Amino acid sequence: MPATPLWSRQLGLTHPIVQAPMAGGATTPELVSAVSASGALGTLAAALLGPSAIARQIADIRTRTDRPFGVNLFVLPSPFPDPEPAVVEQALSWLAPHYATFGLPLPDVHAPGWRWCEDFQAQLEAVAEAAPACVSFTFGIVDRATVARLQARGSLVLGTATTVAEAQAWEAAGADAVTAQGSEAGAHRGTFLQPAERSLIGTLPLVRACVQAVSIPVIAAGGIMDGAGIAAVQALGAQAAQMGTAFLVCDEARIPEPHRLALLAARGGTAATRITRAFSGREARGIVNTYMQAMQPLEARLPPYPILNALTGPLRKAAAEAGDAQYLSLWAGQGVPLARPLPAAQLIERLVAELQQTRERLA
Ligand SMILES: Cc1cc2nc3c(=O)[nH]c(=O)nc-3n(C[C@H](O)[C@H](O)[C@H](O)COP(=O)(O)O)c2cc1C
């Protein structure tokens, strides 16, 4: 099967498939290395990891495979400024009934060691030092000097775009490729230029418009679940398909059991997913549950990421431990009914066979 230029020439990959970074522990070194060893691109989600955990997990992947892989970060202000106390108090009062459901005290934001998020610059240093084959970003954009520094260390730089203007901004910053994230995509929106509600473009028109607007390679993301989906985005001009939800049910992915069960229950049906700010303060797509519905009237007033994300952390952890899917972020894309729980290598084998069959069918 002919590999696309970015993939074959610069990365030496066999298949035009990227396993999406998925923050929260899903992208274990086992998953990333299994994907990369199969000839696709595995990606470690490092957004919620501190610098030493980033270095450790990258080293772990390198003991498992010598194939290229990517590392992904959320672009956040560094240092992250403390929010107004009144904003935190208000959010905690809205969360109080949900914490009470689990008999949990509200989080103490004045406790020693409390932090709103990992420090972005410190994470970036750890990633730059490790120099993985790819470094990708979402939630924002980095400057030309940062892009050039990563490239000088041998990393390709990939940005996330949810609009054509964001793809153009990444091209102007010197990125090697851009991931066009359609509104079907699971979990957080990468939007950084326009309000989220004006950046909800489906994968088909977004990928097509980005391919026409930028000259760097475009990777398509959002709702791609099988080889036919990969062929579809290749027909639009994408050089590769980035898939999250499809890999989330792989044996090597680590997610809370209630999340996994909700994903599996959605198979073959029509799962109701929608975009919500209720868990983290940033728009993200997940399977609708009790907490999402209860918080819906407040959504527009909730504090932004990472403030709300930190404030709901203990609640989500308690829900996961209690096996309760109703208070957990059940991140999933619109393609979740098509998910197949398989070892990553077998999923890639199937994707590649389906891609070939689709090409033959269309020829
Ligand atoms: C559970 C989950 C976590 C995600 N975490 C990240 C992340 O840390 N960084 C990132 O750039 N994208 C993240 N994404 C978005 C993916 O990169 C990608 O855009 C999305 O999965 C594509 O849509 P799909 O889920 O329909 O395949 C996440 C997606 C999921 C499902």
Q: Where are the domains of the chain?
A: 6-80+116-256+338-362, 82-115+272-331
Report whether 8 contacts 363 (CB < 8 A).
Answer: no
Ligand 1 pocket mutation, candidates 18, 22, 136, criterion most atoms within 8 A of CB: 22
pLDDT at 7: 66
pLDDT at 3: 46
Return the CATH fold of 6-80+116-256+338-362. TIM Barrel (3.20.20)
Closest C-alpha among 312, 204, 330, 209 to residue 262: 330
Ligand 1 pocket mutation, candidates 41, 160, 188, 243, criterion most atoms within 8 A of CB: 188
The rounded distance, in Å, linking the Cα atoms of 281 and 311 is: 10
User: Which residues, other chains included, contact 17 with Cβ-Cβ below 8 Å and sequence gap of 6+?
Assistant: 35, 40, 41, 230, 240, 241, 243, 348, 351, 352
Determine which helix (DSSP H) or strand (DSSP E) holds 42, and give its type and residue range: strand 42-45
- Give residue 20 CA to ligand 1 midpoint distance, Å: 6
> Which atom of ligand 1 is the closest one to the Cα of 222?
23
- Give residue 321 CA to ligand 1 midpoint distance, Å: 23
**Residue 223 CB less than 6 A away from ligand 1:** yes
DSSP assignment string, 125-184: HHHHHH--SEEEEESS---HHHHHHHHHTT-EEEEEESSHHHHHHHHHTT-SEEEEE-TT
Closest C-alpha among 147, 172, 167 to residue 157: 147
pLDDT at 10: 79
**Residue 273 CB less than 6 A away from ligand 1:** no
Closest C-alpha among 4, 8, 17, 16 to residue 243: 17
| CA atoms 348, 349, 352, 353: torsion sign | negative
Report whether 228 contacts 2 (CB < 8 A).
Answer: no
Determine which helix (DSSP H) or strand (DSSP E) holds 321, and give its type and residue range: helix 307-322
**Residue 242 CB less than 6 A away from ligand 1:** yes
Closest C-alpha among 202, 213, 209, 201 to residue 236: 209
13-252-64 Cα angle (round to 5): 55
Ligand 1 pocket mutation, candidates 18, 32, 138, criterion most atoms within 8 A of CB: 138
**Residue 331 CB less than 6 A away from ligand 1:** yes
- Give residue 112 CA to ligand 1 midpoint distance, Å: 32
**Residue 330 CB less than 6 A away from ligand 1:** no
Which residue type, as a one-letter code, is found at position 294? A
Ranges of residues in the chain with a pLDDT under 70 are 1-5, 7-8
User: What is residue 45's three-state secondary structure?
Assistant: strand
pLDDT at 339: 97
pLDDT at 142: 98
**Residue 180 CB less than 6 A away from ligand 1:** no
pLDDT at 8: 66
> Which atom of ligand 1 is the closest one to the Cα of 184?
26
The rounded distance, in Å, linking the Cα atoms of 118 and 89 is: 22
Report whether 291 contacts 97 (CB < 8 A).
Answer: no
**Residue 229 CB less than 6 A away from ligand 1:** no
**Residue 286 CB less than 6 A away from ligand 1:** no
Report whether 302 contacts 91 (CB < 8 A).
Answer: yes
